[in-house]
């Protein structure tokens, strides 16, 4: 299956290049451009889910293209969650801010948490704070309003196959361990939820909400070392030296990676704190008049 998907991706990647060249290169005929659209749209309407998913994701490279945006919006209602997730990803990549209302609605109505994760990532890319709310819910298990995740969403977060499809491998990797694949994470953690929650903590670095700071401080004591390390790393990058005291116990954590993350975060925040202190006046020796 993987080889089939890779082959399909290669075919449609070539189609996308043809499409872009047709739009910008003077030597490319209008007929070529039309054919490129025909090829791409055949993928979007293909009965094979993998083909529709690949073609939909490729729409994300067509920025400032109204037709591509309309096609991605249409794909948000596809009957397969993989395609809906790809559509959300494409809209985020093409910076389609006009799609924000539909993405917001999808967060509330979508029953597949994998799609919700992709929509959240798109909303973050589009500058909508609801996107941070999605990752807050993934990290803590509840929404910022205090309401819990839907049962369907909780169930999905415990489904390894769904996580492999939607979560880690689609680009929400935990930055400090960015070179690892999901399978490598599994060998380290023996679970599939921690990588997603760790990734959520990293996304939340840029969320200015003080409630997120408190959630990350709570996660410093999480049972998963990956989540602890990610929460510590996130706190260290939020430019708030007041959290140093919450990080200090992690210097004695039983997991080396957590201790290292805490050390780096504390050093970063301490340096930031020093940089904000008013400069001390230079001591000048009084000189006696000759």
In CATH terms, the fold of domain 172-275 is: 1.25.10
Could you state, in chain order, the average pLDDT of each consecutive group of 10 residues for the chain (290 residues)?
Answer: 44 45 46 71 86 85 87 94 91 93 89 83 91 85 72 60 49 41 51 74 89 95 89 90 92 86 87 76 49
In this predicted structure, what is the pLDDT of residue 8?
A: 46
In this predicted structure, what is the pLDDT of residue 189?
A: 52
Q: What are phi and psi of 148, to 5 degrees?
A: -80, 165
In this predicted structure, what is the pLDDT of residue 261?
A: 83
Residues 6+ apart with CB under 8 A from 59: 40, 44, 68, 69, 71, 72, 75, 87, 90, 94
In this predicted structure, what is the pLDDT of residue 151?
A: 66
Cα 97 from chain centre: 17
State both tokens at 285.
């020796």
The full set of domain ranges for the chain reads 172-275
In this predicted structure, what is the pLDDT of residue 156?
A: 58
Residues 6+ apart with CB under 8 A from 16: 40, 58, 61, 62
Residues 6+ apart with CB under 8 A from 119: 85, 88, 103, 106, 107, 110, 131, 134
Residue located via tokens 């969403």: 153
In this predicted structure, what is the pLDDT of residue 147?
A: 65
Q: How many CB atoms lie within 10 A of CB 106?
A: 21
State both tokens at 100.
């924000």
In this predicted structure, what is the pLDDT of residue 194?
A: 75
Residue located via tokens 């969650």: 81
Q: What are phi and psi of 112, to 5 degrees?
A: -105, 120
Contact 100, 126 (CB under 8 A): yes
Residue located via tokens 């994470």: 185
Residue count (the chain): 290
Q: What span, in angstroms and rounded, lies between the C-alpha atoms of 176 and 156?
A: 25
Q: What span, in angstroms and rounded, lies between the C-alpha atoms of 21 and 62?
A: 12
Q: What span, in angstroms and rounded, lies between the C-alpha atoms of 155 and 191?
A: 14
């Amino acid at each position: 299956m993987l080889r089939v998907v890779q082959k399909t991706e290669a075919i449609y990647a070539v189609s996308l290049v043809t499409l872009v060249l047709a739009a910008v290169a003077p030597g490319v005929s209008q007929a070529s451009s039309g054919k490129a659209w025909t090829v791409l749209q055949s993928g979007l309407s293909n009965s094979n889910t993998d083909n529709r998913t690949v073609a939909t994701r490729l729409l994300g490279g067509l920025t400032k293209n109204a037709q591509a945006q309309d096609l991605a919006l249409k794909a948000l209602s596809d009957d397969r969650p993989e395609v809906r997730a790809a559509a959300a990803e494409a809209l985020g990549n093409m910076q389609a801010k006009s799609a924000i209302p539909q993405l917001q609605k999808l967060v509330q109505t979508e029953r597949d948490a994998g799609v919700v994760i992709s929509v959240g990532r798109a909303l973050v890319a589009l500058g909508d704070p609801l996107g941070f709310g999605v990752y807050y819910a993934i990290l803590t298990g509840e929404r910022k309003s205090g309401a819990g995740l839907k049962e369907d969403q909780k169930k999905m977060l415990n489904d390894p196959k769904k996580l492999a499809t939607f979560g880690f491998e689609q680009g929400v990797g935990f930055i400090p361990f960015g070179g690892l694949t999901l399978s490598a994470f599994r060998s380290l953690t023996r679970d599939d939820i921690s990588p997603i929650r760790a990734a959520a903590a990293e996304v939340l670095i840029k969320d200015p909400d003080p409630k997120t700071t408190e959630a990350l401080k709570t996660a410093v004591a999480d049972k998963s070392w990956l989540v602890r390390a990610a929460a510590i790393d996130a706190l260290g990058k939020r430019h708030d030296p007041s959290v140093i005291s919450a990080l200090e116990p992690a210097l004695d954590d039983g997991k080396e990676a957590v201790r290292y993350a805490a050390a780096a975060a504390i050093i970063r925040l301490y340096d930031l704190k020093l940089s904000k202190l008013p400069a001390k006046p230079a001591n000048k020796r009084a000189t006696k008049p000759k």
